Amino acid sequence: MIREKKRIFSAFADMKGLRATRQRDLILDVFLSTHQHISVEELYLKVKAANRGIGQATVYRTLKLFVEAGLAREIVLHDGQTRYEHLVAGEHHDHLICTGCNSIIEFENEAIEELQREIAARHGFVIKSHKLELYGLCPSCRN
Amino acid sequence: MIREKKRIFSAFADMKGLRATRQRDLILDVFLSTHQHISVEELYLKVKAANRGIGQATVYRTLKLFVEAGLAREIVLHDGQTRYEHLVAGEHHDHLICTGCNSIIEFENEAIEELQREIAARHGFVIKSHKLELYGLCPSCRN
DNA sequence: AACGATATCGATAATTTTTATCATTAACTC
DNA sequence: GAGTTAATGATAAAAATTATCGATATCGTT
């Protein structure tokens, strides 16, 4: 799985004529070792713990490459933080977000996807991606 | 319609013990006169054109009140701009966004809403709001 | 393996967006 | 109308992201 993603990035880099650098390798390693939905700052701290010399501009730059390569996706929550989540080509999930404790539950629903395709087709659109976020209160925060 | 929204805000202000100020009246007027999806900066410029003396902090503060009052909703597009759209209580729409020309088409789909409620219920969530954005290419940008 | 062209890096300045501060002004209560 | 205090505007500050640029490391070519 991790090996697969590294291969994807490597192929992407080749295709774009990008160089393989220690920094990119490390940032990818650390990113792949994290849980879902990490912010740039969080990732930067983890990367810096592994190699003090890495600047945060590089982390910003590299995350954008991951998005381009299809390995990650930006998600913007209502708290103004931009986060990145892991993504495997062709697979994705939507989010159920608790506004009380900010916890995130992921789900997939093929019926919704199908309806989305119908709607898009009705407007002549070709869908590339989508984002569905449901905001509410989880069982623990309802009280 | 506009009158109705003004009444909603007025009721909200009463309920929260907020004062009715010239600035809030003006900002609401201007906001209601705009098209969908306006950014804070854009609204600030329009408001300033009508009354030079208004500061942009006030526009930021007032827009947050509109959200609280249920008159507006924040939407964050992938271009990093936070925008506000009009919203009537109980009514809302989702977005079909062209990544080529950034045009936005709105739609509603009760079947999707129903599926969302099912998913939420399955996780014990109480849904407060949701956001659904489909990204793709519109007919003109497909070529 | 060394060379040379240049992509990439790290540090930091600069931007951009949003929020906090605070003295002044203006709503509302009595 | 006077007093209380929420709200404002100007500006500083904070936070997030991007641009700049000299130094460095990568990689194809020798």
Determine if strand C comes within 7 Å of the CB of A15. Answer: no
Residue A20's Cβ-count burial label (10 Å; 0-12, 13-18, 19+) is exposed
Given A64, A86, A108, the domain boundary residue is: A86
Domain match, B7 and B59 both: yes
User: What is the per-residue pLDDT across B99-130, written as a single tens digit (0 to 9) for each?
Assistant: 777 788 889 899 999 999 999 999 999 888 88
Nucleotides of D under 7 A from a protein CB: 6-12, 16-20, 25-27
Domain match, A43 and A79 both: yes
Q: What is the CATH number of the domain that holds A45?
A: 1.10.10.10
- Residue among B46, B55, B1 at smallest CA distance from B23: B55
User: What is the per-residue pLDDT across A77-126, written as a single tens digit (0 to 9) for each?
Assistant: 666 668 898 887 666 788 898 877 778 888 989 999 999 999 999 999 98
- Residues of B (103-132) whose Cβ lies below 8 Å from A: 105, 107, 109, 111-112, 115-116, 119-120, 123-132
Number of independent structural domains in chain A: 2
- Average pLDDT (B45-49) is 95
Domain match, B52 and B106 both: no
Structural domain for B60, as ranges: 2-86
- Average pLDDT (A74-78) is 75
pLDDT at B79: 63
* A91 compared with B67, residue with greater pLDDT: B67
Question: Do A65 and A57 touch, CB atoms closer than 8 A?
Answer: no
Q: Could you tell me how far CA B31 lies from the centroid of its own chain?
A: 10
**Cβ-Cβ contacts under 8 Å, B109 against chain A:** 115, 119
With H, G, I as helix, E, B as strand and everything else as coil, classify residue B15. helix
